[in-house]
Every structure is written in structure tokens, then in C-alpha cells.
């Protein structure tokens, strides 16, 4: 295909990665100002929790619909609109005068965010060949991890210097600018750089299957469920633990300061960046996504088992294990390499959304179940609750490992997905 041999694809890649980097930073940045928002708006922790959760509810609920729509109408406009919604939502958040505006602004951010990863995968799938695609997914993972890193010390320092409203306002304006950049790169200039070969095809009348038929086919595909379980185990356990109980675990079980516990979580983030860089390169050379992914899943599973078995691990061992768990999380994009190589191009979007939902559901369920376990042992010494709470990520990563074993590698077929339910 002309697109995949055109040097313009690297401009597309850079623009898409810039958008993804900044959008990921806004997933967790509001957590830096929770206390300030409660004070400024005189609202309770429960209301803040609702404002935070609405973003992720929108994200998870829209993954499959966005995949369906992007498969049918193309990914470019959805990525552009999603980035713009993210920017507008962030601007509204910075200008909010009432908690209802805060809630609506985070809803907009969640809707915008829901369009991003699915369409990043689809755009890379259009512009890059198989070997390049796998490696570049890893770089996309690095961009996401760096975005998360931006939402820690750097963003916190800016807020300390300038206040939270100017910082979020500036970020929103930049996101709106990036949306305009994406429109220029993906729509205007791309017509002269590799898009013409597809324009005629797009304009031809096409018969579209019913949405219910596509969904039924996906939900009956064992391969699709395998990718769902893989993402559930590899991504959700890392995000769910680091973002909720990681720091309290360090303080209550390892008996270190809040600062030291935060640094412990930072090693997990460093591991994720290293994993994103190295795993995709290794997998591309190995030539087998499944073997690489299984090795990662085994490593993550054994790391969580070790944290569970050793009730109070030495601090250096905890650093090493959190690094390994983060490193494995860096291999999460391999889920979408499997999707790309297995399913026909017209259904990559919906299966990508389905698999991505698995990681999000895990990230939501883990903190909840972990908290339930802690409540069960609230009369026991604090380390006992955390000990049994670690059974949750052990079980979740075991599910991911089972998903990895269920995967069947094959060349992408042009036949309908109906056959994919028989490939295992």
C-alpha cells in the first residue's frame, strides 16, 4: 500500500504520539489537586470520587462503540474530535465555578479519551507494515508512560508555581491546538501523501453489516476473549495497584515514608518505560508475539506471587518486583499486535476496543476488591489485610496468563471474523 512506503507516515506517527502523550497525562493529573478542589469548592471526598469516576466510566463504556464507528467511518476524524473534546473539557475544568461544571468537564475528557487509543492503533495499522507496527506500538507505550510521568513531579511543580487553574487552562489550549495540527496532518496534507489510493474506495457505495451481527461475532470469538483476558491481567493489575493501594502498601507494610513509597511506585513507572522500549523490539526480532507475551505474563504472575508469599519483603526486593511488574505492563501493546495480525482490517477497531476494555475493567475492579479485603481484616494487624489483598492481582494475572495461552498466532485473514472463533 502506498501509505506504508511513504516517508510522510513518520509525520503522522509523530503527531499522533504527541496527542497521545498529552492526553494520557490528563487521566491522572486532577489527582494532584484533590485537596485543593475540595477546599475551593467545599465538596466532600465522595463528590470528588464521583467527578473522577465519571471520566473512566465514559472511557470504558465507549471503547466498543468507538471501535465500531472507527472501523466504519475511519479513525482520523474520531482522533481529531477526541483530542478537541479533551482540550475543551480541560479548559472547562480550569474555569469551573461549580462542582456540576467539574463533573461535566471530566465527562467531556472521558469521552475524548475514549477515542484515542483505538484510533491510534488503527492509524498506525494503516500507515505502517507489520514489523514496524509492532515496534511502534512499543514507542506509543513509551509516550503513554511519559505522559503519566508528566502528571507527577513536573505537573505538580508547575501547579505549585502558577496555581492549578492556569496550568490546566494552558494544557487545554495546547490540546485544542494539537487537534488542529492533527486535522492538518491527517486530513489536509495526507490527501497528497498516500491517501489518494484509498479515496476512491471510500467513496464507493459499501454494504455495512448490522452492528448486532458484528458484536455477536466478536463476543463469540475465543481469540477476541483471549486478547481481553491478556489486557485484563497485564495492564489492569499495574494501573489499578499503582493508582490506588501502591503508596499505602509501601507505608503500612514496608514501613517507609510517603515519599519513599511514592518513589517505589516510580520504579514501576520506570519499568513500564523500559518495557515499552525493549519488549516490542525483542518481539519483532523473535517473530512470535505469543511466546514473548507468555514470557511477560509468567514474569508478572510470579512477581505478584512473590509479593503475596513474602508478607514483608525487603525494600530492595519490593523495588525489583515493582520494576518487573511495570516492565511487563510495557508489553501491553502486544495485545493489539495480536489483534492486528489475527482479525481483518475492517474489524481491528472493534476488537481493539473490546480488548482495551479488559484492561480498564481490571484497573477498576482491583482497587475495589482490594479495599473490600482490607475491610474484612480491619481488626487484624494492617499487614494481614494487605497480605490477603495481594491475592487479587495474583488471580487477575493468572487470568491474563490463561488468556495468553489461549491465543493462536496466525496470519491476518481477509475472511470474516466468524472463523476466528474456531482458531483455538
On whether residue 422 sits in a domain, the answer given is no
Q: How far is it, in rounded angstroms, from Cα 357 to Cα 334?
A: 15
Q: Residue 86, by phi and psi: left (phi above 0), alpha (psi -120 to 50) or beta?
A: alpha
- State residue 169's pLDDT score: 95
User: Residue 5 — pLDDT band, cuts 50, 70, 90?
Assistant: low
Which segment of 349-363, 394-408, 410-424 scores lowest on mean pLDDT? 410-424
Half-sphere exposure of 276 (CA within 13 A, CB side): 20
Average pLDDT over the chain reads 83
Residue 351: pLDDT above 80? yes
- Is residue 9 domain-shared with residue 149, that is, in the same domain? yes
CA-only gyration radius of the chain, Å: 21
347 and 266 in a common domain: yes
| Contact residues for 324 (Cβ-Cβ < 8 A; gap 6+) | 271, 299, 300, 303
In a domain, 19, yes or no: yes
One domain, residues 28 and 104 = yes
Residues 263, 294 within the same domain: yes
Residues 107 and 227 in one domain: no
Query: What pLDDT, in 10s, does the model give residues 148-163?
Result: 778 777 887 888 899 8
Confidence (pLDDT) at 418:
40
State residue 381's pLDDT score: 83
Taking 3-state DSSP, the helix, strand and coil percentages for the chain, each rounded to the nearest 5, stand at: 85, 0, 15
pLDDT of residue 266: 81
The 10s digit of each residue's pLDDT in 66-83 is 888 888 888 899 999 999
Same domain (yes/no): 188, 284: no
CA dist 188 and 203 (Å) reads 17
Q: Is there a single domain that holds both residue 172 and residue 28?
A: yes
What integer is the mean pLDDT of 12-34? 86
Q: Check residue 421 and report its DSSP letter.
A: G
The pLDDT value recorded for residue 195 is: 47
- 303 and 265 part of one domain: yes
**pLDDT tops 60 at residue 265:** yes
What is the pLDDT at residue 43?
A: 81
The pLDDT, as a whole number, for residue 3 is 66
At what angle are helices 289-309 and 315-329 packed, to 10 degrees? 150
Instruction: Assign 210 to helix, strand or coil.
Output: coil
**Domain contains 110:** yes
Asked if 123 and 240 sit in the same domain, the reply is no
> If pLDDT is split at 50, 70 and 90, which confidence band does 204 have?
very low
Q: What is the pLDDT of residue 96?
A: 92
Confidence grade of residue 2 (pLDDT, cut at 50, 70, 90): low
pLDDT level of residue 198 (50, 70, 90 thresholds): very low
Q: What is d(CA 60, CA 325) in angstroms, rounded to the nearest whole number?
A: 23
pLDDT in tens, 298-340: 999 999 999 999 988 998 999 999 999 999 988 888 888 888 8
Region of 163 on the Ramachandran plot (φ > 0 left; ψ -120 to 50 alpha; else beta): left
pLDDT range class, residue 410, cuts 50, 70, 90 = low
Q: Closest Cα to residue 71, out of 352, 342, 412, 419?
A: 352
- Asked if the model's pLDDT at residue 256 lies above 50, the reply is yes
User: Given this model, what pLDDT does residue 95 score?
Assistant: 94
pLDDT confidence band for 264 (50 / 70 / 90): confident
CATH code, domain with 378? 1.20.1250.20
**Under 8 Å between Cβ of 234 and 296:** yes
Which pLDDT value is given to residue 69? 87
In a domain, 417, yes or no: no
Do residues 123 and 221 both lie within one domain?
Answer: no
Does any domain span residue 241? yes
Instruction: For residue 203, tell me if it sits in a domain.
Output: no
Q: How confident is the model at residue 422 (pLDDT cuts 50, 70, 90)?
A: very low
> Cα–Cα distance between 345 and 67 in angstroms, integer?
12
Residue 344's pLDDT is 82
Give the count of domains, the chain. 2
Q: Dihedral sign for Cα 277, 282, 288, 291, please.
A: negative
* Over residues 399-415, mean pLDDT: 76
- 52, 27 Cβ separation under 8 angstroms: no
What angle (nearest 5°) sits at the alpha carbon of residue 338, between those of residues 335 and 341?
A: 150
Check whether residue 15 and residue 154 sit in a common domain. yes
Residue 140 counted as domain residue: yes
pLDDT digits (tens, 9 = 90+) for 105-127: 999 998 999 899 889 988 888 88
- The pTM assigned to this predicted structure is 0.74
Residues 225, 188 share a domain: no
193: pLDDT strictly greater than 80: no
192 compared with 182, residue with greater pLDDT: 182
What's the domain range around 72? 1-193
> For 372-402, how does the pLDDT look when each residue is reduced to its tens digit (9 = 90+)?
888 888 788 878 888 898 999 999 999 999 9
Amino acid at each position: 500500500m502506498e501509505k506504508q512506503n511513504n516517508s510522510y507516515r513518520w509525520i503522522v506517527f509523530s503527531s499522533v504520539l504527541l496527542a497521545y502523550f498529552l492526553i494520557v497525562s490528563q487521566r491522572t493529573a486532577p489527582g494532584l489537586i484533590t485537596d485543593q478542589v475540595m477546599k475551593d469548592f467545599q465538596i466532600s471526598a465522595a463528590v470528588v470520587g464521583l467527578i473522577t469516576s465519571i471520566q473512566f466510566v465514559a472511557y470504558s463504556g465507549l471503547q466498543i462503540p468507538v471501535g465500531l464507528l472507527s472501523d466504519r467511518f475511519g479513525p482520523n476524524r474520531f482522533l481529531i474530535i477526541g483530542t478537541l473534546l479533551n482540550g475543551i473539557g480541560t479548559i472547562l475544568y480550569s474555569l469551573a465555578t461549580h462542582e456540576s461544571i467539574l463533573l461535566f468537564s471530566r465527562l467531556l475528557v472521558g469521552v475524548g479519551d475514549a477515542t484515542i487509543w483505538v484510533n491510534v492503533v488503527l492509524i498506525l495499522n494503516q500507515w505502517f507494515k507489520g514489523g514496524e507496527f509492532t515496534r511502534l506500538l512499543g514507542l506509543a507505550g513509551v509516550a503513554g508512560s511519559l505522559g503519566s510521568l508528566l502528571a507527577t513531579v513536573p505537573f505538580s511543580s508547575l501547579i505549585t508555581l502558577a496555581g492549578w487553574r492556569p496550568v490546566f487552562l494552558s494544557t487545554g489550549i495546547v490540546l485544542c491546538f494539537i487537534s488542529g495540527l492533527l486535522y492538518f496532518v491527517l486530513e489536509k496534507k495526507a490527501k497528497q501523501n498516500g491517501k489518494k489510493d484509498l479515496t476512491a474506495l471510500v467513496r464507493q457505495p459499501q454494504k455495512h453489516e448490522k452492528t448486532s451481527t458484528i458484536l455477536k461475532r466478536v463476543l463469540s470469538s475465543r481469540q477476541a476473549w483471549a486478547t481481553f483476558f491478556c489486557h485484563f491481567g497485564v495492564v489492569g493489575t499495574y494501573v489499578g495497584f499503582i493508582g490506588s493501594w501502591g503508596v499505602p502498601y509501601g507505608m503500612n507494610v514496608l514501613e517507609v515514608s510517603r515519599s519513599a513509597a511514592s518513589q517505589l511506585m516510580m520504579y514501576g513507572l520506570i519499568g513500564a518505560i523500559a518495557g515499552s522500549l525493549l519488549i516490542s523490539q525483542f518481539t519483532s526480532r523473535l517473530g512470535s508475539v505469543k511466546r514473548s507475551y507468555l514470557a511477560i505474563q509468567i514474569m508478572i504472575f510470579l512477581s505478584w506471587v512473590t509479593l503475596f508469599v513474602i508478607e514483608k519483603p525487603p525494600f530492595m526486593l519490593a523495588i525489583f518486583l515493582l520494576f518487573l511488574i511495570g516492565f511487563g505492563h510495557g508489553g501491553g501493546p502486544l495485545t493489539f499486535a495480536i489483534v492486528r495480525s489475527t482479525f481483518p482490517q475492517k474489524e481491528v477497531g472493534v476488537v481493539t476496543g473490546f480488548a482495551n476494555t479488559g484492561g480498564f475493567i481490571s484497573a477498576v475492579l482491583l482497587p475495589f476488591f482490594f479495599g473490600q479485603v482490607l475491610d474484612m481484616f480491619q481488626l487484624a494487624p494492617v499487614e494481614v489485610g494487605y497480605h490477603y489483598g495481594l491475592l487479587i492481582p495474583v488471580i487477575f494475572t493468572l487470568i491474563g496468563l490463561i488468556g495468553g495461552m489461549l491465543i493462536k498466532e496466525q496470519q491476518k485473514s481477509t475472511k470474516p471474523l466468524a472463523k476466528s472463533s474456531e482458531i483455538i
